[in-house]
Structure 1
Amino acid sequence: MVGRGRFEYVSTATMFLVILLSLDGILMTQVNSQSPSISALFIFGDSLVDVGNNNFLNTMAKANFFPYGIDFSNGATGRFSNGKSPIDFIGEFLGVPSPPPFADPSSVGSRILNGVNFASASGGILDESGQHYGDRYSLSQQVMNFNNTLNKYKTMMNATALSQYLAKSITIMVSGNNDYINNYLLPELYRTSSNYTAQEFGNLLVSKYKQQIMALYNLGLRKFFLAGIAPLGCTPNQKARGLAPPRRCVELVNQMVRFFNEGLRSMVDQLSKNHADAIFSYGNSYRVFEDILNNPAAYSLSFVDRACCGVGIYRGQLSCLPYQLPCAFRSQYIFWDAFHPTQSVINVFSWRAVNGPPDDCYPINIKQMALR
């Protein structure tokens, strides 16, 4: 039991969140009762939000085997976690079903009316990121896939109805992670670290990202939640590379990520100013994850430095191997494998994305976005 002295080190926001999370059932009822009508969720990004697209691609980046999904009711579905994805939780908080993966042949007709998930593990903002894993949908390909889906909607509703449908939908984008861990930070495979400084690379990513966001805007989407990158230097994968003292985060990597995040937040301001008919919001994943790392006990977490599943230094230099036995106390771990903020942590991220204050979601959170 945590005494009063321990709480003196925890922010007010953190204490408030812990109280709410302990009343999960009550919270869910309150959120859903206040939720507006949301047409659909459209998801773009990488393995953090992939719910099975890579199952249908010729790639090594898959999570459709045990122990992935060990705590998920449907088992291993392609979600890179022991349980739910952020989109599952966000959908629950908003009262909207988690949309199906684009690549699934059964994602047609009424099944796509609640939206579609285009995210692909190992895919990045740059087309070449993650190519050593095999096939994947880069962000530009995901945008093209959305355009294909749009053609399906055109056969299901008239132009006016479709325009209103898209305007009331929420677009969630989680991209950029693989442009670092599966591109810039692998100089043996990619030349980007030789061609760009960390600041230049961050600017390049933001510029390319903006192009794809505007492509989606031009296709009719109007509400965008853009998640920043968490401190990648604190993942078991980066710690295992020996670039920092034992049990310390790799600050050099975290600084790279901050360049990107700063540019992404500035882009949100610019887009909001230039496109008054749309809403853009920045999700401060870095801040949320940093809070969890600094105050693990406040979230009932005990294991900060190693993954629950994986192999190598700190048990988590690599992703889970098929049929590998994970740790026994999964709910107490921050990391599930070498790269993936367990279900316990995903729940926190998702709740703060939907309900968090401006420090978490700038300038507004997903729930506030849905009300507009």
Structure 2
Amino acid sequence: MAKISVLSPFLVLFMVLMSSAPVTGQDGSRRQMVPAMFIFGDSLIDNGNNNNIPSFAKANYLPYGIDFNGGPTGRFSNGYTMVDEIAGLLGLPLIPAYNEASVNQVFHGANYASAAAGILDATGRNFVGRIPFNQQIRNFENTLNQIKGNLGAENAATVISRCMFFVGMGSNDYLNNYLMPNYATRFQYNGPQYADLLTQTYSQQLTRLYNLGARKFVIAGLGQMGCIPSILAQSASGGCSKEVNLLVKPFNENVKNMVNNLNANLPGARFIFFDSSRMFQDILQNGRSYGFSVVNRGCCGIGRNRGQITCLPYQMPCPDRNQYVFWDAFHPTAAVNVLMGRIAFSGNPDFVYPVNIKQLAEL
């Protein structure tokens, strides 16, 4: 990875944010900025929805959660996910998994994310059980009915319109669909065509959430997927895969355009786009400046770059976890998740567009 001798604009902003950021996002004295947050996505933000379904995509065992208060929960991290940090910055408690949330808890929101899930229903079938985005939306409808039952339809609509909706989908549609040898999609579509298919479906799904009353949306793009340990382990040179990064690039470009179109065409909607790819690229290129000394292998895992087999039950992870960008073959460490959450919350339009989460909450 080439060294960059000047401070990048992302790093400059990071230093400013860190100078004023709280030590932890869970600050009980922080003002609650939105009534609730509802979360949709995959293993990057799953916090336990796969625990009780027949699935190979689970993280409810040590060393997952080794640094999380309470131990393993189903989070694919050593500690916080990005949305955990964002919830704290919004003044909310940790958002419960949909499958475990009580009626009272859902008034602060619910997390519907599921490891191996995708925009397309067929994505992730190698892992057997998972909850695709379409089903996640149906699960939200169940939550919405609970809220309506308690508040009445009119009051519920007012509350939901002020809530935050965080959506991060698409990683598995590449890693556990297009790039898998037992899927036909790579023969049916070239890269741009597949990106078009995904974003057309995605737009329809997000419009469904809008029609259910959602108005404030955070849409996370895909990171530098060609640089994760799983992909690095397949490289003869050990370097990032330009092919994978170029494959994903049209999707991120489409999603940013989709955000503009939805803002223009859905009355009252406020969609913002978090450019995870640009942010992650800067972290990888300037790792030491951010406090990371290991950017090319997992803290926990087996094989080349600790990316060929993910964390085994009770495997001993690296002791210096805050020095690592990657926790396992696919997922960032809690240190990176917290950083990404803070950037999404307070960042500038270079990577959270057209406004950041804090500004969106205040609208």
TM surpasses 0.5: yes
- Tell me how far apart the structure 1 counterparts of residues 126 and 227 of structure 2 sit (CA, whole Å): 23
Mark the runs of 5 or more structure 1 residues left unpaired by the alignment.
1-5
Equivalent residue number for residue 127 of structure 1 = 121
The aligned runs of 1:4-15 (5 Å cut-off) are: 9-15=6-12
Deviations 1:331-359 (CA, angstroms, capped at 9, x unpaired): 10000000003011111110011111001
- Equivalent of residue 110 in structure 1, options 74, 80, 104: 104
The aligned runs of 1:77-226 (5 Å cut-off) are: 77-104=73-100, 107-187=101-181, 189-226=182-219
- Equivalent of residue 50 in structure 2, options 51, 54, 59: 54
- Cα contact 1:100–1:111 (8 A) shared by 2: yes
Which moves more between the two structures, 328-337 or 12-21?
12-21
- Cα contact 1:69–1:77 (8 A) shared by 2: yes
Q: Secondary structure at the match of 2:223?
A: coil
Percent of aligned positions that are identical: 42
- Cα contact 2:55–2:129 (8 A) shared by 1: yes
Deviation at 1:109, TM superposition (A): 1.7
- Cα contact 2:80–2:334 (8 A) shared by 1: yes
- Tell me how far apart the structure 2 counterparts of residues 271 and 279 of structure 1 sit (CA, whole Å): 8
Deviation at 1:74, TM superposition (A): 1.2
Deviation at 1:20, TM superposition (A): 3.3
Deviations 1:193-218 (CA, angstroms, capped at 9, x unpaired): 01110110111110111111011000
- Equivalent of residue 231 in structure 1, options 201, 224, 231: 224
The TM-score normalised by the length of structure 1 is: 0.93
- Cα contact 1:289–1:341 (8 A) shared by 2: no
Q: Secondary structure at the match of 1:113?
A: helix
- Equivalent of residue 41 in structure 2, options 45, 48, 51: 45
Equivalent residue number for residue 342 of structure 1 = 333
- Tell me how far apart the structure 2 counterparts of residues 205 and 45 of structure 1 sit (CA, whole Å): 14
Deviation at 1:14, TM superposition (A): 1.0
- Tell me how far apart the structure 2 counterparts of residues 119 and 234 of structure 1 sit (CA, whole Å): 23
Is 2:253 aligned against 1:262?
yes
- Tell me how far apart the structure 2 counterparts of residues 191 and 370 of structure 1 sit (CA, whole Å): 41
- Cα contact 1:15–1:298 (8 A) shared by 2: no
- Equivalent of residue 342 in structure 2, options 341, 351, 359: 351
Q: Secondary structure at the match of 2:150?
A: coil
Mark the runs of 5 or more structure 2 residues left unpaired by the alignment.
none
Deviation at 1:248, TM superposition (A): 1.5
The TM-score normalised by the length of structure 2 is: 0.95
Deviations 1:293-329 (CA, angstroms, capped at 9, x unpaired): 0100111100011110011211122221111111121
- Equivalent of residue 68 in structure 2, options 72, 87, 101: 72
Deviation at 1:25, TM superposition (A): 3.1
Deviation at 1:27, TM superposition (A): 8.9
Q: Secondary structure at the match of 2:104?
A: helix
Deviation at 1:12, TM superposition (A): 4.0
Deviation at 1:169, TM superposition (A): 0.2
Equivalent residue number for residue 322 of structure 1 = 313
Deviations 1:79-134 (CA, angstroms, capped at 9, x unpaired): 00000111110011111112211112xx2221111011000000000101111101
- Cα contact 2:17–2:346 (8 A) shared by 1: no
Task: Return closer, same or farther for 1:23/1:277 CA change in 2, 3 Å cut-off.
Answer: closer
- Cα contact 1:311–1:318 (8 A) shared by 2: yes
Deviations 1:277-304 (CA, angstroms, capped at 9, x unpaired): 1100111000100010010011110001
Q: What is the CA RMSD across the aligned residues, in angstroms? A: 1.9
Task: Return closer, same or farther for 1:250/1:293 CA change in 2, 3 Å cut-off.
Answer: same
